[in-house]
Amino acid sequence: MTTINIERLFEPITINGLTLSNRFVVPAMQQALSRDGDPTSDLADFYSSRVAGGAGLVITESTAIDHWSANWQPMATRLWPSTLASWKSMVDGVKNQGGKIFVQLWHPGSMRTPPEGKTFERESLSPSGLASGSTESGRPMTRAEMIEIRDAYVSTAVAAKGLGCDGVEVHGAHGYLLDQFLWADTNVRDDEWGGAALENRLRFPAEVVRAIRHAVGPDFPIGYRLSQWKEIDFDGKIAQSPQEFELILKTLRDAGVDLFNVSVRRFDTPEWDGSDLGLAGWAKTFTDAPVITVGGVGLTSDLASELWEGAPTKNDTEATLARLITRFDNGEFDLVAVGRAHLADGEWVSKVREGRYDEILSYSPEILLKIAAGWSDAPGDAAHSHTVEEAGITA
């Protein structure tokens, strides 16, 4: 293959006063490496080693905000008062390597389901008690509960800032709580917080961002992860048109978002007919905020094809980078998240920079299967065997 020039991906970028050394991001990926919500030393080592391996930014796995309804399984991280000591050690490990770290703030909403044969003491909360248009789960939130949860996002963001984190990422994607508000199929409320009008469905996600911004101040970066697809429905969409997507982005940007992390199956798949732009490219069209692209970088197939279609997945670093740099040069994104390839090789970024493509450790689907198995094997779990998609690997 012809040598490609990717040096531009190693130029620094500044996001609301925070300078990253390059454009490569380790995205949030749950790995079943917490115990009773406490991040373990293995999880801390994963993040610090990826920074040592060259990543410009690591975003922690989906982290439950400090509210009972966000608590799911003991292997998923929580940023609660009881876990602060472990969090401090993990953040310090990244900072000691000279790295930058965001905490991803997460609430599962109606996707919070109990282990088979078990029940939660309290029902899961969501906009309308729906996990999809045809799947009931939990119950609708009251306005008082919405305020509680908004305030839990805020207190958790403040805690992250106090730990020395460089920013937070609000998880508004993949069919979880804030995405459930945006998705018409799961938000059928008849009040000002939902229903047919997108402006109403946007109101609570924007309120959460605005409240976080007020609490952390103007100079603390806030990212927002969003997607069309859901873990429960890969064909689900929050925006039926570019115009609706523009409204979503501009509303969230006005609320205080500094960085958009646009999650798709494959980074170079066109989003709407009549244009070659992927969803990240549309985001760059509509907002002045930096944009992260993601989806199959370094590999032969996207996650969904690997999981549900049995597509063979192996390293394809140079070919995907060649397509990636073309879109980067076209101004379609500012940063790139590399997920599954980073699970295989903690030095992926350094090896790419030095052109050592043949030294990149091989990715295989067994890596995901091992993570998924960890959800059922972990001490304290109620024998709930999670699937790979429930494990939160999306890149």
- Catalytic residue numbers read 176
Q: Which of 347, 345, 349 is nearest to 335 (CA)?
A: 349
- In DSSP terms, 101 is beta-bridged to 58
Mapped onto helix, strand or coil, the DSSP state of residue 26 is strand
Q: Please, what sign has the CA dihedral across residues 184, 395, 29, 19?
A: negative
* Residue type present at position 288: D
Tell me if 349 sits within 8 A of 22, measured CB to CB: yes
Q: How far apart are CA 148 and CA 142, in angstroms?
A: 10
DSSP 362: P
Count the helices and strands in the chain (H runs, E runs).
Answer: 12, 17
**From the CB of residue 330, how many other CB atoms can be counted at a distance below 10 Å?**
12
Count Cα atoms within 13 angstroms, Cβ side, for 133: 10
Number of neighbours of residue 364 by Cβ within 10 angstroms: 15
Pairing of strands 24-26, 57-59: parallel
* Other CB atoms within 10 A of residue 350 CB: 16
Residue type, 13: I
Backbone φ and ψ of 281, nearest 5°: -65, -40
